[in-house]
Structure 1
Amino acid sequence: MTRPIAFAPRDSVEAVEEGLTLAPRFGADGLMPCVTVDAVSGAVLMLGWMDEAALRLTLNTGEAHYWSRSRRAIWRKGAVSGLTQRVVEARIDDDQDALLLRVAVSGSGASCHVGYRSCFYRRIEADGALAFVETDKLFDPKTAYGDLPNPTQL
């Protein structure tokens, strides 16, 4: 078992921006945005949110955990569908208030509860209409989630 990750105090701008200690800053709501990308292709898979506990779980277990704003609870990505995200690399931005995860997704490689590889499967056209950039689903949400009322919360 790895040693739990410790967070440092935010002593100075210099320490936060140029130092070698992790001193994350969460918003007034206790959350931090997390962009998740495929470790191999770099494709954006999703945008999630983490609170301090979700970040600690992610760093200590090597599997992505997020904060569900709708359920107000931590969830491990893929806990129901089996499409877990193994963290290959975790990065934090300059002022340590946003995360970037590079992940390997198990199973079909999908990260979207709708069945697509990425949650960003549609493009906004100039006229405001949406156009699909991913046309094939990688898994059937009904099979993965059954009759759960709102799989977005998983």
Structure 2
Amino acid sequence: MDAGRLAVLRAEVEKQVEVIAKIYAKIRERCHSKDVAYLESLGYQLHNLYCAFEDLFKIVARTFENEVADKARYHAELLRRMVLEIKGVRPALLTEETATLLDNLRAFRHFFRHAYAYELDPRKLAVVLEDALKLEERYKKEVKRFLHLVESAVKRGG
């Protein structure tokens, strides 16, 4: 990877981290109310949060040209790829622990998108919220580590 491509990757990743931060701010605004409309809004923001994480994963996959071939399991496979260190290509973006929390959020997003006739269960929403909040500091550290490793590899010429 050359310096120009690295600069594009860094800019795209940092912009996506800003998008994720804005969604976290909305989640924090909504997580203290028990009102049904606020719970539905919180569910929507948790749905958006996973979508924003997935956009981050797509940036990484596109940059390093490691496309996901299995379209039937695209979302799960894309997340799984972010845990892989691909020797000579890129370091892992996420740890297994972070990926597990994200997988729970991914499952909620799937439910939320297809739950037209269901009411959100506040207890289940609370579990998803707890996982999402655990993710906030973890993913920031892991993205920072990832970018540092990529930059170090570029400086070494690798």
TM-score norm. by structure 2 comes to 0.26
Bigger fraction of residues in strand: 1
TM-score norm. by structure 1 comes to 0.26
**Higher RCO, Cα 8 Å, sep 6+:** 2
Bigger fraction of residues in helix: 2
